[in-house]
Amino acid sequence: MSETNTIGLHESSASQLAEKLNELLANYQIFYMNVRGYHWNVKGRQFFQLHEKFEEFYTDLLVKVDEVAERILTLGHTPVHAYSDYVKIARIQEDKDVHDGEACVRGVLQGYQTLIELQRELLSLASDADDEGTAAQAGDYIREQEKTVWMLGAYLG
């Protein structure tokens, strides 16, 4: 029996990476639904601007949900796919009944900050495992989301 998976990573490393990716997936899923809620329920003077921006965010998050799940599969593992499991393992909490535009933006900012933190942990694990695929994916997400965090902070003043 081989100690490496089909893409040449040690199975123990792939298993650790898949576990961390499932944690990331859970956070993406909860965050995605939070941002959908902000999009649907935001009220106030910046409604049109924020409604459109939140749609841009959740559309991108949905793409990343699929990419993270597919990376787990590439590693030879199974992505978590039950919302009840997401709630148990995610650091991001469900944000319910938020209508105020500024509160919604703060929720988006906090969500991205959490994702960046998780992706840095994943990047470290992937680097230790010589997993360039996962490291590149995490690095790309971090770079993009750091800019978004800066912009959201500027918006909030």
Kindly state the average pLDDT of the residues 65-87: 98
Give the rounded distance of the alpha carbon of 121 from its chain centre: 13
Distance CA 88, CA 60 (A): 24
pLDDT for 43-63, tens place per residue?
A: 999 999 999 999 999 999 999
Does 49 reside within a domain? yes
* Residue 6 counted as domain residue: no
Q: Does residue 102 belong to any structural domain of this protein?
A: yes
pLDDT surpassing 80 at residue 2 = no
- pLDDT at residue number 80: 98
Tens digits of residue pLDDT in 112-129: 999 999 999 999 999 999
Whether residue 5 lies inside any domain: the answer is no
CATH code, domain with 98: 1.20.1260.10
Kindly state the helix (H) or strand (E) to which residue 43 belongs, with its residue range.
none
**Range(s) of the domain holding residue 98:** 11-156
Domain-embedded: residue 2:
no
**Which H/E stretch holds residue 117?**
helix 101-128
The answer to whether position 65 is within a domain reads yes
